[in-house]
Structure 1
Amino acid sequence: MRSINISTLRRLANIINEAIDEIEGVYAKGNIPLPSLDTPFHPADPAEALLQNPTVEGATMNIMAAAAQLSATVASPMVSALNASQAFHISACLRVASEVNVVEVLRDAGPAGLHAKEIAAPSKTDPLLLARILRLLAIHNIFREVTPNVFANNRISSVLDKGKPWKVLFDNRDERFTGTSGFAALLECITDFNMKSVAMLADTILDPKEGELAFDRAYGTTGSFFDWTHRPENVYQMRRFDIAMRGAAALESTDAIHKGFKWSGLSTGSVLVDVGGGTGHISLAIAQKNPGLRVVVQDLEDTIKDSKIYWKENFPSHVESRMVDFQVHNFHTPQPILNAAVFMLRYIVHDWSDERAVNILRHLRDAAQPTTKLVVIDTILVSAARVPDSGEEAIPGLARPSAPAPLLPNWGVAKSEVYCYDLTMHCLYGGVERTLEHFMEVFAKGGWKIVHVHHPEGSGMSHIVGVPS
């Protein structure tokens, strides 16, 4: 047993060393240094672009997975369990840092940083407590403690920058996220709504109440998360959430939509229905490259108003030629479009339980022609168990690469984001991120059969293609 464990350590170390060689090779070829953890993030830096190189991305995943597994292998299991049980402190401290605009206060100080007293002054917070909060983040490589109680931004903390002077942020709290990228708003929502709701997960499992979600238990409310955010007293929370969702959407390049399902294979005049499409920014990107497609953007009334404005600003010719229609529609009700070539559901199905998702798909099936395609764009979870390869692929795209042994086949913590989202969807909305097998069950119950799965390069989402069954 001992020799096997030592062998495992060496194999994990080798994976890390080989990945470092690959990353250094790419950067050496570009004659660019790797971004430093100690310096703020600059998205326009050519060194950041190289991190999107497929070789670097793959090597990075291997390092993240192997380093975590190596630590878990050698560390005391009690220490590992205790650290995991207290990870909520990191979330809580991140929210504090964002709420009191620490990154923006530190921005002008540069690498020399500021003493906690100066950082705390604009928000009138306790400097000793703030120093303790920032120190916890610094030991997790978020912020940098330059000298005792003196802190500076680093590469990770700087992504919380809202891009505004700190005085403006304090003077007008209600508008602190307006005009920002939305990333800081996203992190605040995660460390606020999500964390408080997930804290009630065990309570709702041990003491379940009909129709009650963890969010309901945490906030002492009934109805949906969206009902709560639309209350008059929660205007700020709603505004922050809307900006956060735009920030989340911006993390996924619209170019990825062209790397999966072949939209160019649809004939001129084919109807693409963007079901629950929001502003329709994805169907607009599809139509720009395939102008012969007719598009119908469907969503609720307030969103459709925004969609009309968005298309007029970004693709006026399609609006003027009447190649795009805007339709107020609730996808939980019968689908009115009966001549669709494609029904597209992007980041919709994961919001809903199996029962509600099946209902959505059944409405689309009832309106489909025999040739209609269903394209569900969502994240596909992969099991942490290593399954033997049968050598057969019944559905194109069904098989996916797996991490090299002894890593977890799904790359473990390197891919943990979507597994966290899965529980967030459950606690806030009753939704679920699904494995492909789970998607197959939901499709079948909704009257569809999966015939192809695309995994676009550089995207965290897959295109699951179905036909009427």
Structure 2
Amino acid sequence: HDNLALAVISQYSIAKAVPLDQSISMIEVSKKTGLSEHLTRSILRHAVATGIFHEPVPNHIAHNGLSKLLLEPKMAGWVHHTTNDVVPAASMVIESWRRFPDSNEPNETGFSLAGGQGKTLFEYLAENAEARDRFSLAMAGLTASGGYDANDLVHGYPWTNITSGATIVDVGGSDGTMACALASQYSGFRLIVQDLEGVAAHGKEALLPSLRDRVQFQAHDFFHPQPVEADVYIIRHVLHNWSDKYSVQILRHIVAAMKPTSRIIVNDAVMVEPQETSAEQYWNMSAMNLQMITLLNAKERTLHDWTELFAKADPRLKIATVHKPTGSEMSIIEVVLMD
């Protein structure tokens, strides 16, 4: 019911109906949002009980620190995506397990049964502009919340060990946030951002003129053969979206293009045992793991899982180093070819 309250607050833009610097009667909120007075009071009082908003005098509501977060577009996008897409999908996860036992397929999920119309999350987003906008804002909100900053990889890996002039490919690099951050810090690399055609075209248009001499965008589907023989392949926040079946395919295409001296830098979560971290950190990892299961039939991986995945893709793929930057939710896994 906490999720129901959040969904109503999100759908009816209740946070926007409450003034920033003073309280407002619940009746006025009802009039502004079009939600009945009874339901407005029921939802708001439950929200107050969970720490969102506060009721300074009976039947009046005011913002507090948590409710003000809902006015920030990125956080509002995260809540909107969670309540519209994730919560309904979670309610169908058990049914998806019954219908598709031990499935690796991204279109046999709680999401595909709940609202995805039998499609994968990414297929659904490609066809649904409203859901795509929600998802984009949600991802921006996740990044803004801390722990997923591209600069953690820029400053957390010894890039000075990579030869100047090296070619670095950001596989599934989206809008180029990672590559641009790296190019801004190190001017000696040639960076190629690969993603699907529409994404790559948008990234190219938005690229700062000052970076165009060393960052380029290339339309590429990572389920097809890798066209670039690079020194470094970055796979950032990608493999956790895919089950082992599909992650192996992505990795094999990269391995086929690698030189003996090439390396893969995976920037993704490494699950640990509950006793190895704080309760809050473990909750964050566990919640993301369940999110991947719900939406994509994917998962967050332990170090053992990562080791097995690389070996499954190619027995020569070995983990050379693992490092988790302070404050980051993601680790930096350096993978090399060893005969």
Give the TM-score of the pair, scaled to structure 1: 0.67
CA distance in 1 between counterparts of 2:182 and 2:41 reads 49
CA distance in 2 between counterparts of 1:92 and 1:160 reads 15
SS in 1 for 2:65: coil
Deviations along 1:333-388, one digit per CA (max 9) or x if unpaired, are: 111111x111001100000000100111111111111111110111121122x4xx
- Residue identity matched to 2:198: D
2:262 is matched with 372
1:95 matched to 2:19: no
Check conservation: 2:51, 2:66, Cα contact below 8 A. Answer: yes
1:449 matched to 2:318: yes
CA distance in 2 between counterparts of 1:257 and 1:115 reads 48
Deviations along 1:172-222, one digit per CA (max 9) or x if unpaired, are: xxxxxxxx4x22111110112111001111222234366421112212622
CA distance in 2 between counterparts of 1:115 and 1:302 reads 47
Farther-moved stretch of structure 1 (114-123 vs 212-221)? 212-221
1:239 matched to 2:95: no
Deviations along 1:427-458, one digit per CA (max 9) or x if unpaired, are: 21121111111111111112221111111112
User: Percentage identity across aligned positions?
Assistant: 31
2:18 is matched with 106
Based on CA coordinates, which of the two structures has the bigger radius of gyration?
1
Superposed, which structure 2 residues align to 1:119-158 within 5 Å? 119-158=29-68
CA distance in 2 between counterparts of 1:281 and 1:183 reads 19
Check conservation: 2:194, 2:217, Cα contact below 8 A. Answer: yes
1:19 is matched with none
1:35 is matched with none
CA distance in 1 between counterparts of 2:211 and 2:281 reads 41
**TM-aligned CA deviation for residue 94 of structure 1:** 0.9
Deviations along 1:393-452, one digit per CA (max 9) or x if unpaired, are: xxxxxxxxx3xxxxxxx3224531231121121221121111111111111112221111
Residues paired across the two proteins, number: 330
Check conservation: 1:273, 1:343, Cα contact below 8 A. Answer: yes
Superposed, which structure 2 residues align to 1:16-415 within 5 Å? 89-108=1-20, 110=21, 112-162=22-72, 180=73, 182-208=74-100, 211=105, 212-219=108-115, 221-231=117-127, 234-251=128-145, 252-311=148-207, 313=208, 316-319=209-212, 321=213, 323-338=214-229, 340-384=230-274, 386=275, 402=276, 410-415=277-282
CA distance in 2 between counterparts of 1:303 and 1:288 reads 21
CA distance in 2 between counterparts of 1:326 and 1:197 reads 34
Instruction: Evaluate the alpha carbon distance shift between residue 430 and residue 337 of structure 1 in structure 2; reply closer, same or farther with a 3 A threshold.
Output: same
SS in 1 for 2:235: strand
Instruction: Evaluate the alpha carbon distance shift between residue 414 and residue 467 of structure 1 in structure 2; reply closer, same or farther with a 3 A threshold.
Output: closer
Instruction: Evaluate the alpha carbon distance shift between residue 107 and residue 295 of structure 1 in structure 2; reply closer, same or farther with a 3 A threshold.
Output: same
**TM-aligned CA deviation for residue 119 of structure 1:** 1.1
1:467 matched to 2:336: yes
**TM-aligned CA deviation for residue 466 of structure 1:** 0.5
CA distance in 2 between counterparts of 1:419 and 1:134 reads 29
Structure 1 residue ranges without an equivalent (≥5): 1-88, 163-179, 387-401, 403-409
